[in-house]
Structure 1
Amino acid sequence: MSPPILTLGGPSPSSPSTPPKATPHLLPCRVHHNGSIEPIQPFWQPEKQPDGTSTSYFRGRKLHGTPLPLPSGYRGVVAAAILPPSKDAAEVQEGVIDLEDPNCGKPAQGRLDVQAEFDEVVMWGHEVAVTTDGGPAGDGGYVRGMEEWVALAGEIHSYPNPDGSGK
């Protein structure tokens, strides 16, 4: 079996041994910025409701958040890519194969370092809460997509019984 192209590792040596807990938020909008916005408090202040949902305002629009727990057996992580150093263009000669290099012809192996862990995702909807059944209270497309992806991944990574009767 060939080695993986990416491996998932623990926190980096400079970070604590147990990654902090985080909660990812899936917002129904597109923000054309990918940098830091510290401090975040003036822009994002979700309030927990007694029924477990959340409400917040983003750019004047009222949003309703529904927590969606991860399926059992799954672990949510926020990871940062640590890619291997690339070879200089001067070092790489096209068409030349070094028979003494044990990694010759193999893809470079990178690493994903865990920065934080989560056990739920908050799905946000405009003016109405996102429902898990995709009913009239909101678009459950992401919820259905996650559930279907988990079911498909389970089928892909399962092995049939020797008698041919499925899993």
Structure 2
Amino acid sequence: MLKIQNSSRPSQKCTPNLLPARIDYNGAIATPERYWKPETDEKGETTVHFRGRKLTSDVLPLPENYTGAILQVTDRVENRTALDTRLEEEEEEEEEEKVETKIVEQVGAFEKVVVWQHGGRLEGTEDPYAKGIGEWIAFAEAIHGNDE
């Protein structure tokens, strides 16, 4: 189980970029402007050349009242009993068991996602990321939303 907590350091505003590539590296680079220089043309299309391939971008804003979160799993653990996580009527029937809950910190937040792709832009209904965001939010609202 995971428990999300705000980090002790301030949350950074960022914009995730999804690339149509796999890069076996996860960390900062010394001179990002050397490798990543997106340019916007007179039509408003943003492109970049990455490893010799031209990529175009689509910006997917999150719906109103939603914020994306960048999370980092920590080594900290909170031990709780299973009874703490169940409804009251179930508590009487269940035996106590220890549940290990890992602490996850929010280290960043975002309002939009930039999706890069080869060969031009996709319509919103064709883009798997746009479709996924829409479906995930609809699913979450169906589960957690008000009946009104």
TM-score interval (norm. to shorter): 0.7 to 0.9
**In structure 2, how many angstroms separate the alpha carbons of the residues matched to 1:85 and 1:9?**
12
Q: CA-atom RMSD, angstroms?
A: 2.4
2:121 corresponding residue in structure 1: 129
Q: What are the residue-to-residue correspondences of 1:138-149 with 2, within 5 Å?
A: 140-149=127-136
SS at match of 1:23: coil
Q: What are the residue-to-residue correspondences of 1:54-133 with 2, within 5 Å?
A: 54-84=46-76, 105-133=97-125
**In structure 2, how many angstroms separate the alpha carbons of the residues matched to 1:67 and 1:20?**
19
Residue pair 2:77, 2:101 contacting (<8 A) in 1 also: no
Q: What are the residue-to-residue correspondences of 1:8-27 with 2, within 5 Å?
A: 8-12=4-8, 15=9, 17=10, 19-27=11-19
Residue 34 (str. 1) matches residue 59 (str. 2)? no
1:156 counterpart (130, 143, 146): 143
1:7 corresponding residue in structure 2: 3
TM-score normalized by structure 1?
Answer: 0.67
Unpaired segments of 5 or more residues in structure 1?
A: 87-103, 135-139, 161-166
Residue pair 1:83, 1:109 contacting (<8 A) in 2 also: no
**In structure 2, how many angstroms separate the alpha carbons of the residues matched to 1:124 and 1:131?**
13
Aligned residues: 132
Residue pair 1:84, 1:108 contacting (<8 A) in 2 also: no
Report the structure, 1 or 2, having the larger strand content: 2
**In structure 1, how many angstroms separate the alpha carbons of the residues matched to 2:34 and 2:67?**
31
Structure 1 segments of 4+ aligned residues over 6 angstroms from their partners: none
Greater relative contact order (Cα < 8 A, sep 6+): 2
Bigger radius of gyration among the two: 1
**In structure 2, how many angstroms separate the alpha carbons of the residues matched to 1:112 and 1:122?**
24
Shift of 1:48: 3.3
Identity within the alignment, %: 33
**In structure 2, how many angstroms separate the alpha carbons of the residues matched to 1:49 and 1:141?**
25
Report the structure, 1 or 2, having the larger helix content: 2
